[in-house]
């Protein structure tokens, strides 16, 4: 059994002793990192160059950093409130600066988006891998120490532990390490306990893996604030992307979404579709969608409420998916028994009884006489109550009654009929690999009652991200799947770019995006939906995110399927290159359509006399703004899923974002002239100025900051 320890440095010393100081440490991505322990290892390696420390992980989370004086004034008080005493990984700052000690190296396969663009050390040591293969590649690198944060709870049966937020790679890596341990290698496993980490059951329970844990670290100094991802504003542009994407979700189907504003927008409009269908449908009519678009919605998705509900199957469980579950959109249960799952697909209201039991016999799920294994399945999923046992040709029922083990025997059918369950059990409405989100999400997970918690199964990444292994069951469960992912750019020929910029620097990582797109092409009725903004501001100018070509792609064009921008849906599956170009031009911003059209014509991908249809020539922000102006005030909220920002901070976020877009990389002082001409009065924005400590500016710099902020507040007041 594990050795319990109270001090992280002592645990680090023990690991160094067991490994001889040659440490190849593997840790989960995101929230599950045991930062106290890894920082103790980092300290020991920094103090003793004989210790060789290699760290393999992904998504190392640090407090947000400000890029300007105004941002710093806003961010620091907010970060202190939200992140509190969160302990960052000690390697993070020196890795960004390229100042890691010579005996310490860090290898990541997913970056906090944009955080490592200027770190040559991080870029050189990046490992590009589909997340499905993370455990395989960690093992190939010879990882000999694994460590992660664990949740804990006390029960009548004793203390229980959970992988909680990160079972996804651990459940696949631990068997590989166990085999190496049995072959004689020195392998050390460390679990760092955190009392605030929500306890998740099912596959996330440590359970049988507890004997494989060598050290359980319960260091009070490591029980600092959990890292959270505050919800960021959803702009009007994001809302329209999410609105179009929400029409592609099919009732009774399966949903996967990623994190970020586009995902939040999708969730918001899916909820409006479910709870406020009249308003939702009226908004779609305001868009005056072309007939082929409306036909696509009817064929692939819908506008009506979710009568059957959805099943969630997503690499990452985020706040939006949890909200969809809480509000009754994600509620379609799936069962880990192919015969039962097949029946339930056609009979969603199935209840225990002879019709279901006989159907399972017809599908080959059980036979007669019942085996012990078949009886266990019937009891596991609630078809029969506990207390029944099999002994050869006899069934022993509660109360001492014994009947023939023959499901066609009238006496057996009559006697067994009173022991059917009231409802099916052990259905899961959501499978996830890891979770990460705002503080409110963690609180909600802690508050789940037993049945709600049991309906979520945090499990191995191989189950979530691909079809191999129990493929029959996965195909049955993942009916009409919609894999909703984001990209920062899409080419006219349908390739998507989401992880790496053109010069080779990695922005984030592939993660599971490729796997989900691939699944969409393998599953019957499934679609891959790439959500992207049609344009962005860069260096103070609008630029198209739809481009003719790009130096890199994450999703190759032969896996193109659906692309959604704020202007509509481009259905690219089974289309010729020319048809793809035409569809992409229809969802591009009209300020860039002609240039894109000419590039395609010059390359021979579009006929020379082609003209973009008139109805798509008004793809402009002002067109969407007019639609928004006619909509209700709750249609496009800035924070549809809630926020950690108070009301004053919400106004400041909008103003600072506007200012950042307007000036981009220019120095603030270069805008001094326009700032001095603002008509905004300090008295009109006293709360905002007080929050930024600019109510009474001191010196020229603060006076200029005040004028810039007033300019931005006035511009965004509406």
One-character DSSP codes across 275-330 = H-HHHHHHHHHHTT--HHHHHHHHHH--SS--SS-BEEEEEEE-HHHHHHHHTTSB
Residue 667 confidence (pLDDT) above 80: no
Length of the chain: 718
Residue 456: strand pairing partners:
430
Q: Across the beta sheet with 402-404, what order do the strands follow? A: 389-391, 394-396, 402-404
Q: What tokens appear for 631 in the block? A: 């909509």
| 359 CB neighbour count, 10 Å cutoff | 17
Predicted local confidence at residue 665, as pLDDT: 44
Q: What tokens appear for 478 in the block? A: 């993942």
- Name the one residue in this structure whose structure tokens are 């990984």: 89
Backbone phi and psi for residue 681, each to the nearest 5 degrees, phi listed first? -105, 140
Backbone phi and psi for residue 236, each to the nearest 5 degrees, phi listed first? -60, -40
Question: In the predicted model, what is the mean pLDDT of the chain?
Answer: 94
Residue 31 confidence (pLDDT) above 90: yes
State pTM to two decimals: 0.95
**Confidence at 680, pLDDT banded by 50, 70, 90:** confident
pLDDT tens column, 526-538: 999 999 999 998 8
Quote the CA–CA distance of 389 and 375 in Å, as a whole number.
Answer: 8
Domains and CATH numbers, the chain: 3-62+87-222 (3.40.1080.10), 236-333+429-623 (3.40.1080.20), 339-419 (no CATH), 647-716 (no CATH)
pLDDT, average across residues 468-478: 96
What is 527-592 written as a DSSP string?
EEEEE--SEEEETTEEEESEES--S--SB-GGG--EEEETTEEEE-TT--HHHHHHHHHHHS-HHH
Cβ atoms of 261 and 318 within 8 Å: the answer is: no
- Name the one residue in this structure whose structure tokens are 């692309």: 563
Element (H, E) at 620: none
Quote the CA–CA distance of 332 and 639 in Å, as a whole number.
Answer: 27
Predicted local confidence at residue 252, as pLDDT: 97
Nearest residue to 439 (alpha-carbon basis) of 229, 650, 149, 646: 229
What is 407-452 written as a DSSP string?
TT-HHHHHHHGGGB-SS--S-BSEEEEEE---HHHHHHHHH--HHH
Cβ atoms of 36 and 219 within 8 Å: the answer is: yes
Predicted local confidence at residue 418, as pLDDT: 94
Stronger pLDDT, 73 or 67, i.e. the higher one = 73
Buried/exposed code over 678-699 (b: 16+ C-beta within 10 A; e: otherwise): bebebeebeebbebbebeebee
pLDDT tens column, 97-152: 999 999 999 999 999 999 999 999 999 999 999 999 999 999 999 999 999 999 99
Predicted local confidence at residue 672, as pLDDT: 55
Cβ atoms of 249 and 268 within 8 Å: the answer is: no
CB-based contacts of 335, cutoff 8 Å, min separation 6: 341, 344, 381, 424, 426, 427, 428
- Name the one residue in this structure whose structure tokens are 């390229």: 98
Backbone phi and psi for residue 444, each to the nearest 5 degrees, phi listed first? -65, -40
Quote the CA–CA distance of 277 and 246 in Å, as a whole number.
Answer: 12
DSSP state of 595: H
Q: What tokens appear for 145 in the block? A: 């120490």
Nearest residue to 518 (alpha-carbon basis) of 567, 476, 486, 483: 483
Q: What tokens appear for 262 in the block? A: 């586009």
CB-based contacts of 242, cutoff 8 Å, min separation 6: 234, 262, 263, 264, 265, 266, 267, 268, 269, 531
- Name the one residue in this structure whose structure tokens are 């890795």: 95
Which segment of 10-19, 171-180, 277-286, 664-673 scores lowest on mean pLDDT?
Answer: 664-673
pLDDT, average across residues 72-88: 94
Cβ atoms of 75 and 472 within 8 Å: the answer is: no
DSSP state of 307: S
Alpha helices in 347-407 (DSSP H): 354-362, 372-380
Element (H, E) at 621: helix 621-630
Cβ atoms of 431 and 317 within 8 Å: the answer is: no
Residue 457: strand pairing partners:
431
Residue 542: strand pairing partners:
537
Q: What tokens appear for 390 in the block? A: 């099999």
Nearest residue to 394 (alpha-carbon basis) of 370, 378, 428, 376: 370
Quote the CA–CA distance of 586 and 665 in Å, as a whole number.
Answer: 31
Longest dimension (CA), the chain: 95
Cβ atoms of 532 and 587 within 8 Å: the answer is: no
Quote the CA–CA distance of 122 and 112 in Å, as a whole number.
Answer: 12
Residue 656 burial class via C-beta count within 10 angstroms: exposed 0-12, middle 13-18, buried 19 and up: buried
In the chain, % of residues over pLDDT 90: 90
Parallel, antiparallel or unpaired: strands 527-531 and 389-391: unpaired
**Confidence at 658, pLDDT banded by 50, 70, 90:** confident
Quote the CA–CA distance of 320 and 337 in Å, as a whole number.
Answer: 28
CA dist 460 → 73, 296, 338, 407, 505 (Å): 42, 34, 19, 37, 29
Residue 699 confidence (pLDDT) above 60: yes
- Name the one residue in this structure whose structure tokens are 């010196």: 699
| 110 CB neighbour count, 10 Å cutoff | 24
Parallel, antiparallel or unpaired: strands 535-538 and 541-544: antiparallel
Residue 576 burial class via C-beta count within 10 angstroms: exposed 0-12, middle 13-18, buried 19 and up: exposed
Predicted local confidence at residue 37, as pLDDT: 98
Cβ atoms of 587 and 564 within 8 Å: the answer is: yes
Residue 56 burial class via C-beta count within 10 angstroms: exposed 0-12, middle 13-18, buried 19 and up: buried
CB-based contacts of 189, cutoff 8 Å, min separation 6: 145, 146, 147, 174, 177, 212, 213, 214, 215
Quote the CA–CA distance of 408 and 388 in Å, as a whole number.
Answer: 18
Cβ atoms of 381 and 373 within 8 Å: the answer is: no
Residue 205: strand pairing partners:
162
What's the chain's Rg over C-alpha atoms? 28
């Amino acid at each position: 059994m594990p050795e319990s320890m109270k001090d992280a440095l002592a645990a680090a010393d023990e690991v160094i002793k067991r490994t001889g100081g040659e440490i190849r440490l593997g840790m989960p991505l995101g929230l599950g990192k045991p930062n106290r322990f890894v920082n103790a290892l980092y300290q020991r390696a920094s103090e003793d160059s004989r210790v060789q420390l290699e760290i393999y992980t992904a998504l190392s989370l640090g407090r947000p950093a400000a890029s300007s004086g105004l941002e710093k004034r806003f961010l620091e008080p907010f970060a202190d409130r939200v992140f509190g005493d969160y302990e960052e990984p000690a390697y993070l700052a020196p890795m960004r600066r390229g100042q890691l000690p010579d005996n310490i190296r860090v290898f990541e396969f997913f970056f906090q988006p944009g955080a490592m663009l200027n770190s040559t050390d991080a870029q050189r040591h990046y490992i590009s891998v589909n997340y499905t293969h993370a455990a395989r590649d960690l093992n190939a690198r010879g990882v000999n120490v694994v460590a992660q944060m664990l949740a804990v709870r006390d029960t009548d049966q004793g203390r229980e532990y959970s992988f909680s937020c990160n079972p996804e790679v651990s459940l696949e890596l631990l068997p590989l390490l166990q085999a190496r341990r049995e072959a004689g290698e020195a392998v050390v496993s460390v679990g760092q306990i955190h009392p605030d980490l929500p306890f998740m059951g099912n596959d996330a329970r440590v359970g049988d893996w507890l004997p494989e844990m060598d050290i359980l670290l319960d260091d009070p100094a490591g029980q600092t604030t959990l890292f959270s991802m505050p919800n960021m504003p959803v702009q009007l542009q994001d809302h329209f992307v999410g609105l179009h994407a929400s029409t592609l979700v099919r009732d009774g189907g399966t949903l996967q979404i990623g994190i970020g504003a586009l995902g939040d927008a999708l969730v918001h409009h899916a909820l409006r579709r479910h709870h406020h269908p009249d308003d939702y449908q009226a908004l779609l009519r305001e868009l005056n969608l072309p007939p082929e678009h409306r036909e696509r919605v009817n064929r692939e998705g819908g506008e009506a409420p979710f009568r059957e509900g959805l099943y969630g199957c997503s690499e990452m469980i985020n706040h939006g998916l949890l909200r969809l579950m809480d509000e009754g959109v994600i509620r379609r249960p799936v069962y880990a028994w192919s015969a039962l799952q097949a029946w339930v697909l056609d009979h969603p209201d199935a209840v225990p009884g002879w019709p279901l039991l006989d159907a399972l016999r017809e599908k080959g799920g059980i036979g007669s006489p019942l085996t012990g294994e078949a009886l266990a399945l019937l009891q596991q999923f609630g078809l029969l109550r506990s207390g029944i046992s099999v002994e050869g040709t006899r069934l022993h029922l509660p109360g001492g009654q014994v009947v023939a083990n023959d499901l066609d025997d009238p006496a057996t059918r009559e006697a067994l009929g009173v022991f059917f369950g009231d409802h099916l059990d052990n259905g899961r409405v959501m499978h996830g690999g890891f979770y990460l989100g705002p503080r409110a999400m963690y609180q909600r997970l802690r508050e789940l009652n037993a049945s709600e918690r049991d309906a979520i199964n945090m499990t191995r990444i191989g189950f979530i991200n691909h079809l191999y292994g129990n493929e029959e069951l996965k195909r049955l469960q993942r009916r009409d799947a919609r894999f909703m992912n984001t990209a920062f750019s899409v080419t006219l020929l349908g390739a998507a770019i989401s992880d790496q910029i053109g010069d080779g620097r990695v922005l984030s990582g592939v993660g599971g995006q490729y796997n989900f797109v691939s699944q969409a092409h393998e599953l019957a009725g499934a679609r891959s939906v790439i959500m992207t903004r049609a344009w962005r501001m860069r260096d103070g100018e609008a630029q198209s995110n739809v481009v003719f070509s790009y130096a890199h792609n994450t999703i190759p064009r032969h896996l193109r399927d659906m692309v959604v921008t704020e202007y509509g849906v481009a259905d690219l599956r089974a289309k010729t290159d020319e048809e793809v170009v035409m569809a992409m031009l229809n969802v591009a911003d009209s300020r860039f359509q002609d240039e894109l059209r000419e590039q395609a014509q010059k390359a021979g991908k579009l006929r020379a006399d082609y003209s973009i249809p008139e109805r798509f020539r008004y793809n402009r922000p002002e067109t969407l703004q007019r639609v928004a102006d006619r909509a209700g005030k709750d249609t496009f909220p800035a924070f549809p899923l809630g926020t950690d920002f108070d009301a004053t901070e919400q106004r400041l976020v909008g103003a600072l974002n506007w200012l950042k877009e307007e000036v981009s990389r220019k120095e603030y002082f270069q805008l001094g002239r326009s700032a001095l001409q603002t008509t905004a009065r300090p008295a009109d924005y006293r709360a905002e100025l007080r929050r930024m400590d600019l109510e009474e500016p001191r010196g020229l710099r603060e006076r200029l900051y005040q004028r810039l902020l007033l300019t931005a507040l006035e511009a965004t007041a509406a």
